[in-house]
Structure 1
């Protein structure tokens, strides 16, 4: 593991630690955007970036050069092996020095030029234990390759704060998540999760029994929309994680539409044919976007049904 810090690092005692893990994504646009607030926040904010196994010498070189010029205290941790989503974020938290941790995905972009200032004001005014700022697609690509993901995200993820607050533990992602230091020290992410998905929601389920989860309106754009093919791969990875969360928190998961749909498919022993048809329809570019998005949600439910069945047999 290699470590690089800039000249400002040693002299800053931060209030807010911004933690950015990445694998193959390029975090330089996000770092550049955050640095625009640097002159006002230089003594209060630090930025830690984890390259979790990208193994790109050119990207590492560019990041080191950028970090050296940032007005914010910054540190780059470079690993040649991949820790994974939970372990990587836990590692960043171990090295953070702030009283509050702000987890940002590398493919995010602040929607406000006062993004960090707003988070800091909230920390000072209320000392929140946990808060999710939300995300949007305001700055994301409108290319047709991503239109299915865009339709899905706008329907279920890009929600106003008052809607997210109604199911506070469900609408929480590590893409724009504030956690107070003492809360995270007592409750880190479960690093036994593998692959993509659900480790952040499982964490929020544990936390929701102990702390209030706030949903302020401090959004950032999710720039990294996926193609249907990429989403299908991610959903395949997420199915075992979903089954595990259902086993750990059955009362909470039982209220989720995805669980009810998966259970209905499982009970009728229709997981394989439903997954086959739904995947075909999701990939069919001649179908309307709304129908393809619906088919992709059905495909995901069928995968979850298979995972639930396997979990019951084991």
Structure 2
């Protein structure tokens, strides 16, 4: 069997109104678990180790879960299942009427983070809501400067701006979903590698339910190096093609799609695309131009999919 379960003592008697669902692979979620455990609310936590195969990390997470006052379960997988399938598996263990998908490298920005979500559930019972990103708790590091600049420009947006394109700003890092919505629309397990499975899910859901955006942010602590960003973009090209095929009318409104279409007409992409990447990775170049080059590199990759 691929999964092993570990429950803490409060799990058996838990009657949660909110299930917090946290996947990880290699990252240590213990700090996040400790933070969430400080809120005395009607919530449970389900953690999925998606095939890390690190006995020491498993022991630390189990010890943290055992110490939590909130009901908590650890699901440990012997083999990696991936982002979409892993989150679908998390839902199969959830018992509440609403799910909060929260990445393991996030840190709530308020001491009543879960309480705010529960108040929203009590008042509005939203089908879907996204709380937002921030960088408030991240210490600046030179090797993460490019990611910080890019995230600040496109990801760390207030709710008022995200509502302009609600399905576009749906990420599983801080996402509330009602049980009946997820029962009708789960994550597409055809996605592989990194990227787009959550945005594609948002596109499907937006056809049937409103997507609410609020300001209940968590800091994204896991900023990447420039080389890691480039590698993730390279992984995501096939996923982008899958989204284009499923939702052409929506994707055509995105700037990344329009730029990719323009670049598709440009000759010799195999020659100039590596040069754009090299500039984006150059730590001595001005940060704004590096960020532009990285976005252009992503569009050049996506040109193969449009």
Question: What TM-score range do you get, normalising by the shorter chain?
Answer: over 0.9
Partner secondary structure for residue 49 of structure 1: strand
Are residue 213 (structure 1) and residue 211 (structure 2) matched?
Answer: yes
Q: Cα gap change, 1:25/1:276 in structure 2, threshold over 3 Å: closer, same or farther? A: same
Equivalent positions of 1:77-96 (< 5 A) are 77-96=75-94
- Which of 107, 110, 113 is residue 111 of structure 2 equivalent to? 113
The aligned counterpart of 1:260 is 258
- Which of 19, 23, 33 is residue 21 of structure 1 equivalent to? 23
Cα RMSD (Å)? 0.8
Instruction: Tell me the distance in 2 between the aligned counterparts of 1:273 and 1:260.
Output: 21
Partner secondary structure for residue 270 of structure 2: helix
Instruction: Tell me the distance in 2 between the aligned counterparts of 1:299 and 1:4.
Output: 43
Give the unaligned 5+ runs of structure 1.
309-314
The aligned counterpart of 1:233 is 231
Instruction: Tell me the distance in 2 between the aligned counterparts of 1:73 and 1:18.
Output: 10
Q: CA deviation at 1:267?
A: 2.0
Q: CA deviation at 1:244?
A: 1.1
Give the unaligned 5+ runs of structure 2.
none
Q: Is the 8 A contact 1:271 1:305 kept in 2?
A: no
TM-score by length of 2: 0.98
Instruction: Tell me the distance in 2 between the aligned counterparts of 1:68 and 1:15.
Output: 21
Partner secondary structure for residue 166 of structure 1: coil
Q: C-alpha offsets along residues 109-167 of structure 1, whole Å, 9 cap, x if unaligned?
A: 00000000000000000000000000101112311100000000000000010000000
Instruction: Tell me the distance in 2 between the aligned counterparts of 1:139 and 1:207.
Output: 31
Are residue 31 (structure 1) and residue 30 (structure 2) matched?
Answer: no
Q: CA deviation at 1:272?
A: 2.3
Q: CA deviation at 1:269?
A: 3.4
Are residue 178 (structure 1) and residue 176 (structure 2) matched?
Answer: yes
The aligned counterpart of 1:289 is 287
Q: Is the 8 A contact 1:8 1:74 kept in 2?
A: yes
Instruction: Tell me the distance in 2 between the aligned counterparts of 1:29 and 1:57.
Output: 18
Q: Cα gap change, 1:105/1:51 in structure 2, threshold over 3 Å: closer, same or farther? A: same
Q: Is the 8 A contact 1:51 1:78 kept in 2?
A: yes
- Aligned residue pairs: how many? 304
Q: C-alpha offsets along residues 158-196 of structure 1, whole Å, 9 cap, x if unaligned?
A: 001000000000011000000000100111000110000
Where does structure 1 differ by over 4 angstroms across 4 or more consecutive aligned residues?
none
Equivalent positions of 1:101-140 (< 5 A) are 101-140=99-138
Instruction: Tell me the distance in 2 between the aligned counterparts of 1:274 and 1:124.
Output: 54
Q: CA deviation at 1:270?
A: 4.7
Q: Is the 8 A contact 1:271 1:303 kept in 2?
A: no
